[in-house]
Structure 1
Amino acid sequence: MTQTLDSRALLSVNDVITAAPSSSCDAELARGPWDFDLAPGYGPGASEFDVIPTPVTRPGQLPTAYQRMSDDELHARIRAAKEKLGSDLVILGHFYQRDEVVQYADFVGDSFQLANAALTRPEASTIVFCGVHFMAETADILARPEQHVILPNLAAGCSMADMADEDSVETAWEELMEVYADEADADGLASVIPVTYMNSSAALKAFCGRNGGIVCTSSNAATVLEWAFARGRRVLFFPDQHLGRNTAKAMGVPLEQMPMWNPRKPLGGNTEADLIDAKVILWHGFCSVHKRFTVAQIDQARAQYPGCKVIVHPESPMPVVDAADASGSTDAIRKFVAAASPGDVIAIGTEINLVNRLAAENPDKTIFCLDPVICPCSTMYRIHPGYLAWTLDGLVEGEIRNEIVVADEVARDAKVALERMLAALPR
């Protein structure tokens, strides 16, 4: 599964960051993550009640030997450990991972695909998740009790996941229950169904499980909203406003029935009338990578390449999705590219590692990222071969490093919402 960018592909992420330190990208990303991930505790997106590994090995505490190893030595260690561990190990790699990591994954996919993939390897005692914290949490919730889940770098999280914390969602729910207290139950529908995007903590998935809700991914968001509308009058969708808005709009929900909930304001900044008339209540959250895409970038791409096709991720703002030729999950973007004809020019609005990989895999097409600054997901980028080598060497030595363990009381309810998600197959 090794993938090397050819001459038609874009510059590597490191090349771009190093060449453009004055851009809004973090120039520190060109260095090893251990140089700047120094804060104690988990990275963004962790659940408040996650069991913290003991002893905690934080970024910045990666043994100096691994920090100083050459790329060749790190890759040799990874290959040797993987061969020795055999079927006792399964490595999952998200589409947004850097190529030098994702090449070792037994399964590569989006969050929905990887959640399913983990279930297909019950014989593996260890799942190494090359993704971010909420993905590793999900794997631990769905794994067999005797399986261990490892996140190579504990700082690999998701800033979007932190935009909807447990206290704020609980407070919002209490306020909504007061607003909807007088609604009649004659139609058998709940007043509101909570739907959390996969990019959220296990605690918020558990909240949905306790309150008749469900988890969604960008792959099955439309199916999940259909599921929710069959059970409730309206939906509370968090944390990503853009995925919720774009999905509901495509299903025919009017924008005026999609109020925004700002957790810093009473009733989220809405009137009771707004909330009673609502169909989808959108949380004030977003993805920092996908928020960067603009209509002006699409206009520029079409001016430079007349007739080019544009596809963007549905975490992008609504005007961008509306201006594009298509939108879809990371897997849908891959399928869009595969279905294109040789010679086609395709501008893509999503994370740069996936765009680069698609360019390398499709040399008969011209593929580029809409955003000229080319920012990677800075937390996904925390997974470095040094961390992967260190965790795999630990397994060979009989030591489980950076294990992710979701507390039983959280996992129980979160599993309910996740199993509903897995049953809601993408269209």
Structure 2
Amino acid sequence: MSHTATTENKASVAQNIGRIARKQSNQSACGTDLAEPTWDFDRIPGYGPGASARDIIPLNAPTQGTLPAEYREASDEELHQRIQAAKDTLQDKLVILGHFYQRDEVVQLADYVGDSFQLAKAALAHPDAEAIVFCGVHFMAETADMLSNPNQHVILPNLAAGCSMADMANIDQVEDAWEQLVEIYGDEADAEGRVPLVPVTYMNSSAAIKAFCGRNGGIVCTSSNASTVLEWAFERGQRVIFFPDQHLGRNTAKAMGISLEDMPLWRPNLPLGGNTEDALERAKVILWNGFCSVHKRFTVKQIEQAREQYPDVRVIVHPECPMDVVDAADESGSTDYIRKAVEAAPAGSTIAIGTEINLVQRLAAEYPQHTIFCLDDVVCPCSTMYRIHPGYLAWVLEGLVAGEVRNRISVDAAVAEPARVALERMLAALPAVRS
């Protein structure tokens, strides 16, 4: 296992993958087809190459139409110039949001870069923009649409940019689980006025599930404010059902002092989620059986290897990582927490990071005074984030210049209204300031 801050840190992930495919790099990637053009695998059912490649995609997942040849055949330089020209033409009519996990070639053209919590707030900050182009994944664009004004257009450059974690909990499964749990718990509040069960959904979920939470006294959370949200929920309920990411739920609840025995896992295809009534009666947090394929790749062995190679290494991981990885690390926190930790680190620090490779490599390039590397030495980006190629961004922006709105994401009002309730509760649940 070798971690070097050389040309790999100065090039983008996409460029490094190309070098790996041409055998010009001693690194390895999790899929040889990562080097193929994005539009080639848009025609194939699935999430595409990368960390989520083996996850099962729903049959009704959105698909992307064929990108016109002029965008598929354009060079990186030409696409950059065309995107910038479109931005210059549209000016204040446009705001481009880019997630931390997005490829560098897109991030450098975004007006705002952040995690899902920050970008949700950024969408609110531009009520006069006619178009919000969200360079992220589908649930993020849905959220932006629900928080934006009715006269604003929210655009996802590639409709196939979904989220395998979000797809691990669909609304039918969630409603079925709720019905089974209500049969056990009833719906009567206790002496303190707390209801039997409060639903909490991670931001990485569909608009329909956010709406479910809004209708049932629940709330949305992000990795930035998950503990604040759980505290909010326990003030109002005796227990919580947390979906779709079991790891964020488990790590957050454990840090709050809740025992693992009080956190049963709900498997949606089994009666009572594969649990006994007694176990569910004792439960404090019911965890949905979902996960992030990017963060599932990180292991305790990787941390041990990093410590062996760099005895003074500081290990920071995302709370979507499995519990044993979070326990073995020095710290865990959201993508924004990781970025701020690197920014504040003393010069010459050695930092191993357990999160998506685009962010890690970008931090390594931005802070050359440190030795920064990804715990996983295999280059394996988020499959769906990777679908937002500059060709798609150029296509939707030039459509706007021509007066055509392409790939608009619009959430039905019947879903948006209750989902907005849960989202507004999230926005009010400010994360605690961490030193």
Alpha-carbon deviation of 1:72?
Answer: 1.4
**1:193 maps to which of 191, 194, 198:** 198
Note if 1:117 corresponds to 2:118. Answer: no
Distance 1:46 1:107, change over 3 A: farther
Note if 1:171 corresponds to 2:176. Answer: yes
SS in structure 1 at match of 2:236: coil
Alpha-carbon deviation of 1:285?
Answer: 0.3
Alpha-carbon deviation of 1:374?
Answer: 2.3
The equivalent of 2:275 in structure 1 is 270
Q: Deviations over 1:344-372 (max 9, x none)?
A: 10000000000011111111100000001
Distance 1:243 1:10, change over 3 A: farther
Distance 1:48 1:425, change over 3 A: farther
The equivalent of 2:36 in structure 1 is 31
Alpha-carbon deviation of 1:94?
Answer: 0.4
Tell me the amino acid that sits aligned with residue 404 of structure 2.
E
The equivalent of 1:55 in structure 2 is none
Note if 1:158 corresponds to 2:169. Answer: no
Alpha-carbon deviation of 1:299?
Answer: 0.3
Report the count of equivalent residues: 417
The equivalent of 1:303 in structure 2 is 308
Distance 1:324 1:40, change over 3 A: closer
Note if 1:330 corresponds to 2:346. Answer: no
CA separation in 1, counterparts of 2:394 and 2:8?
Answer: 30
Alpha-carbon deviation of 1:24?
Answer: 7.0
CA separation in 2, counterparts of 1:361 and 1:40?
Answer: 36
The equivalent of 1:9 in structure 2 is 9
Q: Contact 2:202 / 2:242 at 8 angstroms: preserved in 1?
A: yes
Unaligned 5+ runs, structure 1: 53-57
Q: Contact 1:17 / 1:30 at 8 angstroms: preserved in 2?
A: yes
Question: Matches of residues 232-247 of structure 1 in structure 2 within 5 Å?
Answer: 232-247=237-252
Distance 1:179 1:140, change over 3 A: same
Q: Contact 2:205 / 2:244 at 8 angstroms: preserved in 1?
A: yes
The equivalent of 1:318 in structure 2 is 323
**1:293 maps to which of 270, 295, 298:** 298
CA separation in 1, counterparts of 2:46 and 2:8?
Answer: 41
The equivalent of 2:52 in structure 1 is none
Tell me the amino acid that sits aligned with residue 287 of structure 1.
C
Alpha-carbon deviation of 1:15?
Answer: 5.0
Question: Matches of residues 4-403 of structure 1 in structure 2 within 5 Å?
Answer: 7=7, 9=9, 12-18=12-18, 19=20, 25-39=30-44, 59=64, 61-181=66-186, 185-403=190-408
Alpha-carbon deviation of 1:65?
Answer: 1.3
Alpha-carbon deviation of 1:7?
Answer: 3.9
Give the share of equivalent positions with the same residue, in percent: 70
Tell me the amino acid that sits aligned with residue 237 of structure 1.
F
CA separation in 1, counterparts of 2:407 and 2:8?
Answer: 38
Q: Contact 2:14 / 2:103 at 8 angstroms: preserved in 1?
A: no
SS in structure 2 at match of 1:9: helix
CA separation in 2, counterparts of 1:222 and 1:160?
Answer: 20
The equivalent of 2:424 in structure 1 is 419
Q: Contact 1:46 / 1:134 at 8 angstroms: preserved in 2?
A: no
Q: Deviations over 1:253-277 (max 9, x none)?
A: 1111000000111100111111111
CA separation in 1, counterparts of 2:187 and 2:175?
Answer: 20
Tell me the amino acid that sits aligned with residue 113 of structure 1.
Q
CA separation in 2, counterparts of 1:42 and 1:140?
Answer: 23
Tell me the amino acid that sits aligned with residue 265 of structure 1.
L
Alpha-carbon deviation of 1:107?
Answer: 0.7
Alpha-carbon deviation of 1:14?
Answer: 3.3
Alpha-carbon deviation of 1:16?
Answer: 4.8
Alpha-carbon deviation of 1:38?
Answer: 1.2
Alpha-carbon deviation of 1:305?
Answer: 0.6
CA separation in 1, counterparts of 2:56 and 2:255?
Answer: 28
Tell me the amino acid that sits aligned with residue 412 of structure 2.
A
Alpha-carbon deviation of 1:186?
Answer: 2.4
CA separation in 2, counterparts of 1:41 and 1:320?
Answer: 28
Distance 1:405 1:389, change over 3 A: same
Alpha-carbon deviation of 1:11?
Answer: 5.9
Alpha-carbon deviation of 1:42?
Answer: 11
The equivalent of 2:51 in structure 1 is none
CA separation in 1, counterparts of 2:347 and 2:137?
Answer: 34
SS in structure 1 at match of 2:223: coil
Q: Which moved more, 1:178-187 or 1:21-30?
A: 21-30
What is the TM-score when the length of structure 2 is the normalising length? 0.91
Alpha-carbon deviation of 1:187?
Answer: 2.3
CA separation in 1, counterparts of 2:420 and 2:134?
Answer: 18
Q: Contact 2:46 / 2:57 at 8 angstroms: preserved in 1?
A: no
CA separation in 1, counterparts of 2:424 and 2:227?
Answer: 17
What is the TM-score when the length of structure 1 is the normalising length? 0.93
Q: Contact 1:17 / 1:26 at 8 angstroms: preserved in 2?
A: no
SS in structure 2 at match of 1:82: helix
Unaligned 5+ runs, structure 2: 49-54
